[in-house]
Structure 1
Amino acid sequence: MARIRLMIVDDHEVVRLGMRAAFELEADINVIGEASNGAEALAKISVLMPDVILMDVRMEKMGGIEACREIRSQYPRIAVLMITSYPDDEAVTASILAGASGYLLKNVSRAELLKAVRQVAGGKSLLQPEASKKAIAQMTTLAQRSNPLPGSELTEREREVLSLIARGYTNKQIAEALYMSEKTARNHVSHILEKLGLSRRSEAAAYAVEHKLVTRRDQQP
């Protein structure tokens, strides 16, 4: 059976020595290298080619989460096991999004540490379901920001005006319906067309119907 090639990345030499000592007597785990930060780890990976990287979360020059993201992008077969001194929900979520296979606290027992390295080396994830849910929720939020809902760039008042445009209202009728001056109504219409990248009221009306910002039944005044 091939030995697990392990790399330890931590900015404290004493911590690295302690972790190395935890694996020295294990026949199936071989510590093949160390690094003091994420940048140094990235520079050594192409030569060392570890199976698992035990990575500290917070380090100078390049932290563990950023390094994990780069490593998983360049070397997807390498498993990264994050380890830190303090529990932090945001760091757990960020680690999952970066592609980490697990997240441990440094006060973990030796037996638990050995078990974790073996599990991630075997392709298993140590991440708790609740942490994964938080990561999925954050990914959904980011996706929504990258792909905003139709009409989300409009203000509430502009959405009201757009609804009336789709129902065939003139500027004067919009002004009367929303208790504003005709000039203000005209300005709202101009801003709506500009924000949506449209040139005509008819296009705005079609946009509103297509994206269900107003129902077809309500198109007529």
Structure 2
Amino acid sequence: MIRILLVDDHPGFRAGLRTLLSAAEEVDVVEDVASGEQALAVVGRVQPDVVLMDLAMPGMGGIAATERLVRDHPHIRVIVLSMSDDDDSVFAAIRAGARGYVLKGARRAEIVRSVQAAAEGEAIFGPAIAARLVGYFTERERGEPAPALPELTRREKEILGLVAEHLTNPQIAARLGLSQKTVRNHVSAVFAKLQVTDRAQAIMRAREAGL
């Protein structure tokens, strides 16, 4: 049996995914939680083989949670299960240590196959994501430049650029029409991904990347 931990902030989606996976004899959903923080809190107790991880969640998002899980529990495989299929999200997940990336809405057979492959140590990506990866590396072979700070999403790069302009969180929130809490979460995610501890270090990384 492959032990699964589900991490998604939508209770209805978690319940549906648990029901879907329960129909497969070879997998066992041992726990489902609503955030990255909860995943880190229970992972030592439930000892999953594979974690199905959403990206966009309140508090600690899926990228930061994946980095922590892979670092602290290297035997656990993380598969991102997300609505986002943009290059920023895909490559941020891969750099964080995810062993797979599947879009929400995939058929049960595709999700189960991804879980099986990850449990066996393989890396697997849904068809749409695989096509994007092929396109990315094709562009690299043609000499097109790699994106700056690919571990950051577009929004996080935008906010890092405003941090580099020495805007405060309230000023950034007003500029982008976001809540201050949302901006704080994005700034925290940027710090975690860049492995910096303050705004000065973040600004230095932004300038090095040409933002």
* Alignment TM class, shorter chain as reference: 0.5 to 0.7
Instruction: Confirm or deny that 1:73 pairs with 2:71.
Output: yes
Which residue of the partner structure matches residue 31 of structure 2?
Answer: 33
Q: Distance in 2 between matches of 1:5 and 1:107?
A: 22
Report how far residue 86 of structure 1 moved: 2.8
Letter in 1 for 2:95: L
- What are the Cα deviations for residues 29-69 of structure 1, in whole angstroms up to 9, with x where unaligned? 00000110000000000101100000001100111111000
1:130 has 2:134 as partner: yes
Q: Does 2:56 align with 1:52?
A: no
C-alpha displacement at 1:130, in angstroms? Answer: 3.0
Cα distance change, pair 36–30 in 1 and its aligned pair in 2 (3 A): same
> CA 1:141–1:107 in structure 2 vs 1: closer, same or farther (change >3 Å)?
closer
Q: 1:109 to 1:73 in 2, by over 3 A?
A: same
Following superposition, the deviation at residue 107 of structure 1 comes to 1.2
Give the one of 11, 14, 37 matched to 1:13: 11
Q: Distance between the aligned counterparts of 2:103 and 2:150, measured in 1?
A: 28
Report the residue type matching 1:90 in the other structure.
D
Distance in 2 of aligned mates of 1:139 and 1:98: 16
Q: Is the 8 A contact 2:53 2:78 kept in 1?
A: yes
Q: Which has the larger radius of gyration?
A: 1
Aligned to 2:101: 103
Aligned partners of 1:96 and 1:132 also within 8 Å: no
Q: Whose RCO is larger (CA < 8 A, sep 6+)?
A: 2
Change over 3 Å in CA distance of 1:76–1:27 after alignment to 2:
same
Candidates 49, 59, 63, aligned match of 2:61: 63
Aligned position for 2:154: none
Please tell me the residue identity of whatever aligns with 1:97.
Answer: R
Instruction: Indicate the SS of the match to 1:115.
Output: helix
1:139 to partner: Cα distance: 8.9
Decide whether aligned partners of structure 1 residues 5 and 139 sit closer, same or farther in structure 2, where only a CA change above 3 A counts: farther
State the match for 1:114 in structure 2: 112
Deviations 1:75-124 (A, max 9, x none): 01100000111311100010000000011110111111111111111111
Deviation string, structure 1 residues 146-187 (Cα, Å, up to 9, x no partner): xxxxxxxxxxxxxxxxxxxxxxxxxxxxxxxxxxxxxxxxxx
CA contact (8 A) 2:91 2:150 kept: no
CA drift at 1:132: 7.6
Q: Do the aligned partners of 1:92 and 1:131 also contact (CA within 8 Å) in 2?
A: no
Q: TM-score normalized by structure 1?
A: 0.58
Identity of aligned residues (%): 35
9-18 vs 107-116, which moves further: 107-116
Structure 2: any 5+ residue segments left out of the alignment? 141-145, 152-211
Aligned amino acid, residue 124 of structure 1: E
Q: Distance between the aligned counterparts of 1:10 and 1:4, measured in 2? A: 19
* Aligned CA-pair RMSD: 2.5
Runs of 5+ consecutive residues of structure 1 not aligned to the other structure: 143-221
Amino acid at match of 1:122: E
| Equivalent pair of 2:5/2:29 in contact (CA under 8 Å) | yes
Residues 118-151 of structure 1, C-alpha deviations (whole Å, 9 max, x = no match) = 111111101435388499x569999xxxxxxxxx
AA matched with 1:83: L
Change in Cα spacing, 1:81 to 1:47, as seen in structure 2 (3 Å) is: same
TM-fit CA distance, 1:28: 1.0
Question: Which portions of structure 1, spanning 4 or more consecutive aligned residues, are displaced by more than 6 angstroms?
Answer: 139-142
